[in-house]
Structure 1
Amino acid sequence: MSTSPSISLALRFVVLLPLLLLATITITTKANDLIDQTCKESAESTPNSQGASLNHLGLISITLVKKNVTSTTNSIKNLLGNANVESNMKKGLEDCLNLYSNSISTLDEVARDYRAQRFDDANAKISSVMDSSTTCEDGFQDVGVASPLTKQNKHVFQLCAITLAIISMQSH
């Protein structure tokens, strides 16, 4: 006994729809938990963020990004100082060092633009810092080695996302 193509398609839809909805809900919940955790950790590391205005939170978030970028830059320098670093790893680290070193001066510009309420400029520049974290991470995959900076790259990315959200709220 054969079923018509339209019934077969309808059955697939009925079976797959609940699975798709469950997967979407799970992914959304995990993403929200990650954002909440990052915000909580960031707020706890900056005591003057309690009761701060949105404008002040923007400056605090820019400062946190800069601290993390600077810390990541120092980690890269330490890793490069290891005499046993393999050539592909060294290439990835050098590329990341260049990206993050440029990001430090970019973050100074972000702070200036933000204070001057040039939110579009601040947005574009913080986006470039965010891109640096993913470009750094992707660079290790490109040369076929595991990134030693995954945690730092994710943290910089998340802090940039928070900063972008604050800038977006300020510009509306």
Structure 2
Amino acid sequence: MGPSRALPCLVLLFLLSSSRASVLEDTCKSFADGNPGVGYDYCIKFFQASKDSATADKRGLAIIASKLTGAAAKSIGKHIQALKASEKDKHIQSGLNDCRDLYSQAVDLLDVAAKGVAAGTPRGKLDAVANLSGALVSPQTCEDGFSELGVKSPLSAEDSEFTKEVSIALVITNSL
């Protein structure tokens, strides 16, 4: 390929990669407009955990968000197991047991959500939204359980973070 053909190809490649990067930026801007408590910077930071997010389209971002939140739920589940092993208070142990179950269910819900988005069908989207909504209640239910037991939650930070992450996945999936 001669120099006269190479330059237009390079320009086209640059424009395609620039438009892909702006999908992430545009998606996070749109998310932040409706969710100022979470914001644009948090959304961008969230997606930086996946190198594929820089080149994904909006549906790809919804899939990535579901998978990232599923990984977060697994990680929280492991943290709960570690807390349980060292906790002596029976009330906190009881709350941790309930939260472990909630996050285990969230892992399953988020897996189904990612598959629903990936299907690319209206029914798949509806299933994804329903499953993401189910996962979104897990952290609040976890916090409510500790409150009902009259003890301070050792998972407040994780629950708050997880709520933000699932919110990103849900808002993006809903916008498809």
Is the TM value for this pair above 0.5? yes
- Distance in 2 (CA, whole Å) between partners of 1:46 and 1:33 is 23
- Which residue, 131, 143, 159 being the options, matches 1:125? 131
Q: 1:113 aligns with which of 92, 112, 116?
A: 116
Structural mapping, 1:29-40, within 5 Å:
32=36, 34-40=38-44
Deviation at 1:154, TM superposition (A): 1.0
1:141 positional shift: 0.7
- For 1:112 and 1:50, locate their aligned partners in 2 and report how far apart those are by CA, in whole Å: 21
Structure 2 counterparts to residues 142-157 of structure 1, below 5 A: 142-157=148-163
Runs of 4+ in 1 over 6 A off after TM superposition: none
Percentage of matched positions with identical amino acids: 28
Q: Which amino acid aligns with 1:127?
A: S
Q: CA-to-partner distance for each residue in 1:27-46, whole Å, 9 max, x for gaps?
A: x99x6153223202212222
TM-score normalised to the size of structure 2?
0.75
**Quick check: 1:122–1:167 contact (8 Å CA) kept in 2?**
yes
Return the alpha-carbon distance in structure 2 between the equivalents of residues 87 and 37 of structure 1.
Answer: 39
- The TM-score normalised by the length of structure 1 is 0.76
Q: Could you list the runs of 5+ residues in structure 1 that have no partner in the other structure?
A: 1-27
**Pairing 1:41-120 to 2, within 5 Å after superposition:** 41-82=45-86, 84-116=87-119, 117=121, 118-120=124-126
- Structure 2, unmatched stretches of 5+, are 1-31
Output the CA distance in 1 between the equivalents of 2:55 and 2:116.
23
Deviations 1:97-121 (A, max 9, x none): 0111111122221122111231111
Partners of 1:38 and 1:73 in 2: CA distance: 23
- Aligned residue identity for 1:151: A
May I ask how many residue pairs the two structures share in their alignment?
141
Match of residue 3 from structure 2: none
- CA deviations 1:96-150 (Å, max 9, x no partner) are 0011111112222112211123111110111110101110111111101111111
Distance in structure 2 (CA, Å) of the matches to 1:138 and 1:132:
10
SS at match of 2:100: helix
Contact 2:71 2:107 in 1 (8 A): no
CA RMSD across the alignment? 1.8
Could you say which structure has the larger radius of gyration? Answer: 1
